[in-house]
């Protein structure tokens, strides 16, 4: 067991040498190259994801700023809208008041005009009735009392007409 | 491992299990190149290591599973935690050599645990030839890096008075030669001793010839077997890590 065996020594070197040559060519090279390339790609992906994370953070900050700005803008728009609304409301109310005043005034004028017209018609009727009365009196002998009565009747007629109008 | 030992005498002489016999006689110019049990099991180890690694190398997937995961882990461990950690950046070119040493020795050691097999590394000729090879390669690497004179100077600590050099030089030479010797003997002795203990326990079963006492040596065999798996791997690692360490000493500034 302890004797030197030159044949065994040569076989050992041969076996080891063959294994070293085979593994170097067919196993280590592809495995090490694969491990290195995978490590490099993982490193690359990590760096890429880091850059993307930074980009996302920047975007988040940007969007937050934009959101805050938007919020302020919306607030401002609401305030402006409210002010415009208030102004419009006041204008509409004022306009409505003016229009109603105009309408009342117009109605008043219409009433006055109708009143005048009615009075004129009344005068015409009175005159006509006076003519009719006069012609009647001419036909009949009229006493002073008759005159008085006729005038009163005529006036009563006018009043009645006026009330109807 | 479980060969021979048919009679009581065989069981009582565990060393006979480590004797080598020619399986195929080959004579070449007076040199006996017969294929013996260690040669056969070294060939099987070469086939196993080569087969497994080339199979994995040809079916590499980005998401490793099972065997690929194990081989990747082993290769990364040898490359980074052993060669790179001990030798440094210069060790890159030496990775195939050191990795093959580890894989070859570990496989020979583990194959030796199969009943009926033979542990090639339990023969001093095998471990010594590996240790001599390491010694030669390490010296070659050192001389290539520093030159013959530079390497020789590096063996002795600098700044030592000349009279002390007379003592130091022989000591350093002995220390240099002891390294391969210790490499060879450590691996051989560990593998031989572990297997011998198993044989002794097995021998006890035959010796006791008692059903009641048999469980005791049987338990011893089971425990030693488990321990031998650990020893098989640790001895391969020690051989590889010491090779890397000697290489590092040869390549870098000594002392």
pLDDT at A107 over 80: yes
pLDDT at A134: 78
- Find the mean pLDDT for residues A41-48: 91
pLDDT at B79 over 80: yes
Name chain A contacts of B62, Cβ cutoff 8 Å: 38
List, in sequence order, the alpha helices (H) in chain B. 8-12, 37-58, 66-76, 85-87, 95-111, 124-146, 148-154, 162-208, 215-251
What value does the mean pLDDT of chain A take? 88
Nearest to B44 by CA among A31, A11, A3: A11
| CB-based contact B97:B240 (threshold 8 Å) | no
Single pTM value for the model:
0.71
* Residue B221 dihedral angles phi and psi, to the nearest 5°: -60, -45
pLDDT band at B2 (very low <50, low <70, confident <90, very high): very low
Chain A nearest-CA distance from B209, in A, is 30
Q: Which helix (H) or strand (E) holds B117?
A: none
Q: Which of A133-137, B34-38, B101-105, B112-116 has the lowest mean pLDDT?
A: A133-137
Name chain B contacts of A15, Cβ cutoff 8 Å: 39, 42-43, 45-46, 104
pLDDT at B116 over 70: yes
Nearest to B18 by CA among B37, B32, B33, B41: B37
B213-226 per-position pLDDT tens digit: 888 888 888 998 89
Contact across the interface for A26 and B53, Cβ inside 8 Å: yes
pLDDT at B10 over 50: no
Q: What is the largest CA-CA distance in chain B?
A: 71
What sign for the dihedral angle of Cα B44, B45, B46, B50? positive
pLDDT band at B12 (very low <50, low <70, confident <90, very high): low
pLDDT at A66 over 90: yes
> Looking at per-residue confidence, does A7 or A165 come out higher?
A7
pLDDT at B91: 83
Q: A4, A11, A14: which to substitute to probe chain B, counting the most B Cβ within 10 Å?
A: A11
A24 located within any domain: yes
Which range, A4-8, B107-111, B156-160, has the best average confidence (pLDDT)? B107-111
pLDDT at B13: 67
What sign for the dihedral angle of Cα B212, B213, B218, B220? positive
Q: Count of alpha carbons within 13 Å of A66, Cβ hemisphere only?
A: 6
pLDDT band at A97 (very low <50, low <70, confident <90, very high): very high
Instruction: Return the DSSP state at B116.
Output: T
**Beta strand residue intervals within B114-252, DSSP E:** none
pLDDT at B8 over 60: no
Q: Nearest residue on chain A to B50, judged by CA atoms?
A: A23
Neighbours of B159 (CB within 10 A): 5
pLDDT band at B43 (very low <50, low <70, confident <90, very high): very high
What are the distances in angstroms from CA A118 to CA A123, A125, A126, B73, B212? 8, 10, 12, 121, 150
Using a 10 angstrom Cβ sphere, with 0-12 exposed, 13-18 middle and 19 or more buried, the burial of residue A10 is middle
A20 located within any domain: yes
Name chain B contacts of A33, Cβ cutoff 8 Å: none
Assigned token pair, A65? 């700023």
pLDDT at B6: 38
| CB-based contact B116:B1 (threshold 8 Å) | yes
- Find the mean pLDDT for residues A1-22: 87
The DSSP string of A143-155 is -HHHHHHHHHHHH
The interface pTM score, or ipTM, of the predicted complex is 0.85
| CB-based contact B117:B1 (threshold 8 Å) | yes
Instruction: Return the DSSP state at B24.
Output: E
A1 located within any domain: no
Q: Domain limits at A41?
A: 6-164
- The proportion of chain A whose per-residue pLDDT surpasses 70, expressed as a percent, equals 95
| CB-based contact A157:A123 (threshold 8 Å) | no
Contact across the interface for B133 and A16, Cβ inside 8 Å: yes
Assigned token pair, B17? 């299990």
| CB-based contact B55:B75 (threshold 8 Å) | no
pLDDT at B114 over 80: yes
Q: Which helix (H) or strand (E) holds B153?
A: helix B148-154
b/e B190-224 (16+ beta carbons within 10 angstroms → b): bbbebbbbbbbbbbbbeeeeeeeeeeebeebbeeb
Q: How far apart are CA B68 and CA B64, in angstroms?
A: 6
A54 located within any domain: yes
Neighbours of B131 (CB within 10 A): 24
Contact across the interface for A6 and B103, Cβ inside 8 Å: no
A65 located within any domain: yes
pLDDT at B7: 40
Cα B197 to its chain centre, rounded Å, is 19
Instruction: Return the DSSP state at B157.
Output: -
Domain count, chain A: 1
pLDDT band at B9 (very low <50, low <70, confident <90, very high): very low
- Find the mean pLDDT for residues B95-116: 92
**Beta strand residue intervals within B65-174, DSSP E:** none
**Distance between start and end Cα atoms, chain B:** 44
A138-161 per-position pLDDT tens digit: 766 667 787 788 788 888 888 888
């Amino acid at each position: 067991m302890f004797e030197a065996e030159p044949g065994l020594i040569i076989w050992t070197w041969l076996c080891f040498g063959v294994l070293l040559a085979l593994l170097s060519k067919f196993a280590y090279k592809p495995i090490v190259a694969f491990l290195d390339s995978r490590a490099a790609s993982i490193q690359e992906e990590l760096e890429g994801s880091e850059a993307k994370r930074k980009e996302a953070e920047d975007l988040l900050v940007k969007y937050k700023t934009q959101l805050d700005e938007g919020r302020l803008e919306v607030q401002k728009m609401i305030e402006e809208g409210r002010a415009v609304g208030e102004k419009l409301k006041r204008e509409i109310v004022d306009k409505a008041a003016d229009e109603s005043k105009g309408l009342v005034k117009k109605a008043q004028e219409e009433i006055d005009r109708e009143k005048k017209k009615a009075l004129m018609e009344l005068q015409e009727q009175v005159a006509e009735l006076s003519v009719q009365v006069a012609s009647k009196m001419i036909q009949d002998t009229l006493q002073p009392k008759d005159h008085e009565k006729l005038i009163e009747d005529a006036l009563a007629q006018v009043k009645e007409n006026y009330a109807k109008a | 491992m479980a060969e021979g030992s048919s009679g009581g005498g065989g069981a009582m002489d565990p060393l006979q299990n480590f004797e080598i016999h020619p399986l195929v006689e080959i004579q070449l110019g007076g040199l006996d190149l017969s294929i013996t049990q260690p040669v056969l099991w070294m060939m099987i180890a070469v086939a196993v290591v080569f087969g497994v690694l080339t199979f994995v190398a040809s079916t590499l997937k980005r998401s490793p599973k099972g065997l690929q995961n194990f081989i990747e882990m082993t290769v990364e461990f040898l490359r980074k935690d052993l060669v790179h950690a001990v030798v440094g950046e210069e060790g890159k070119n030496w990775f195939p050599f050191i990795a093959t040493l580890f894989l070859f020795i570990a496989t020979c050691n583990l194959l030796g645990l199969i009943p009926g097999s033979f542990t090639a590394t339990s023969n001093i000729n095998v471990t010594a030839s590996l240790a001599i090879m390491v010694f030669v390669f390490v010296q070659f690497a050192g001389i290539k890096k520093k030159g013959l004179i530079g390497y020789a100077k590096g063996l002795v600590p600098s700044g030592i008075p000349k009279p002390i050099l007379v003592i130091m030089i022989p000591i350093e030479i002995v220390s240099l030669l002891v390294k391969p010797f210790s490499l060879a003997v450590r691996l051989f002795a560990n593998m031989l001793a572990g297997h011998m203990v198993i044989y002794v326990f097995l021998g006890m079963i035959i010796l006791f010839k008692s059903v009641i006492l048999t469980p005791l040596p049987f338990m011893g065999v089971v425990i030693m077997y488990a321990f031998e798996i650990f020893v098989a791997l640790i001895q391969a690692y020690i051989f590889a890590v010491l090779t890397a360490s000697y290489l590092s000493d040869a390549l870098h500034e000594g002392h």
